[in-house]
Structure 1
Amino acid sequence: MSRSGAEERGATIWLTGLPSAGKSTIAASAAWRIRASGRRVEVLDGDDMRRFLSGGLGFSRADRHTNVTRIGFVAELLASHGVLVLAPVIAPHAEAREAVRRHHEASGTPYLEVHVATPVEVCAGRDVKGLYAKQAAGELTGLSGVDDAYELPADPDMRIEAHRQSVDESVRALLDLLKGKGIA
């Protein structure tokens, strides 16, 4: 419920992009601002969701698809109850992202896809979790966008070039998108 007591409509905002693109940083900052306005919001971070919701899965294409659709199910469930859900999840395959979109559409729950379009070279330079270094050292295989596929979103609702603007500018652009779509 909003401060006025009217039921708020939830939505899922899926932030997809390479590892270290800035998805989680943008989502956390946006969530903080949205909460400050009195709105219910949840962040379904891909790393946390994999650990707690999909702990037994590996990184095969099928396991990644299962992980993404599980997160999408939880996101839609929360959104259908009036929560604004931010899902910063790599989701490297278009087919899995489309399955999440279709599930939302079938239930009438708003869904937006935001591509955090940071180039792999910039992500590797950031290397927040050390994944690119491990991959380069031969200690890790299957890194999305390096030695495993990352399928670029063909027609996202927004592209954020997080390497060309500050976190604050990225969050403002995201919040403007939500306002323009009547979501926030």
Structure 2
Amino acid sequence: MATNITWHSNLTHDERKSLSNQSGVTIWLTGLSASGKSTIACALEQYLLQHGKSAYRLDGDNIRFGLNKDLGFTEQDRNENIRRISEVSKLFADSTTIAITSFISPYKKDRDNARKLHTDDNLPFVEVYVDVPLEVAEQRDPKGLYKKAREGIIKNFTGISDPYEAPETPEIHLHTDKTTVEESAQIIIDYLKSKNYI
């Protein structure tokens, strides 16, 4: 635990919003592997950037190549993975960037902590439950992970050997077995517009 540190204040969040002419917000996509989180996040990021908004996507796999490459998939490591992403996405939102996170984030407590981190600083947090039946996710299985999990090759796999605690009251609930990527992204865009986030 670092002790010899000092927080250096500079611009307030409201001043940043005024200068950048944009609100910061974190859009937190959660759901099973192969639910469509990353694909929707990519479509959303492209839309926002094409419409002149500052946005950045934080993806579960990509983050583990750098920031979180020291973490595995035990419950403790998953907790730390989400804690770090919560802090990073909060910094993005404070900078008035739209942070789009796509992480399984299977534990309700971790997602609640991410939300609290934002709301304590009056930063918007939009939880998006990317919901798909397990059997559909297994049929998709683009990385072959469910097959390996069923064979016991991958341990601690969410939905098979580890739990997924579904959000109870997300701001947005997508059913990606019934909606296309474009339709799912549009639902998020419409919500952001309704809240004057974009």
Could you state the TM-score of these two structures normalised by the residue count of structure 1? 0.95
1:5 offset after TM fit, Å? 6.3
Q: Tell me which structure has the larger Cα radius of gyration.
A: 2
**RMSD (Å), alpha carbons:** 1.5
Are 1:136 and 2:150 an aligned pair?
yes
* 2:168 corresponds to: 154
Are 1:172 and 2:160 an aligned pair?
no
How many Å separate the matches in 2 of 1:181 and 1:129? 36
Paired residue secondary structure (1:163): coil
Number of residues of Structure 1 aligned to a counterpart in Structure 2: 183
1:55 offset after TM fit, Å? 1.1
Are 1:82 and 2:96 an aligned pair?
yes
* 2:177 corresponds to: 163
* 1:114 corresponds to: 128
Please identify runs of 4+ aligned residues in structure 1 that moved more than 6 A. none
* 2:46 corresponds to: 32
Q: Alpha-carbon deviations, 1:135-154, whole Å to 9, x = none?
A: 12221111111110100001
Structure 1 counterpart of 2:114, from 83, 92, 100: 100
How many Å separate the matches in 1 of 2:19 and 2:92? 19
1:50 offset after TM fit, Å? 2.3
Q: Output the amino acid matched with 1:110.
A: P
Could you state the TM-score of these two structures normalised by the residue count of structure 2? 0.89
How many Å separate the matches in 2 of 1:133 and 1:15? 24
Structure 2 counterpart of 1:11, from 25, 32, 46: 25
Paired residue secondary structure (2:100): strand
1:69 offset after TM fit, Å? 1.0
Equivalent pairs: percent with the same residue?
A: 36
1:7 offset after TM fit, Å? 2.7
* 2:83 corresponds to: 69
Q: Output the amino acid matched with 1:56.
A: D
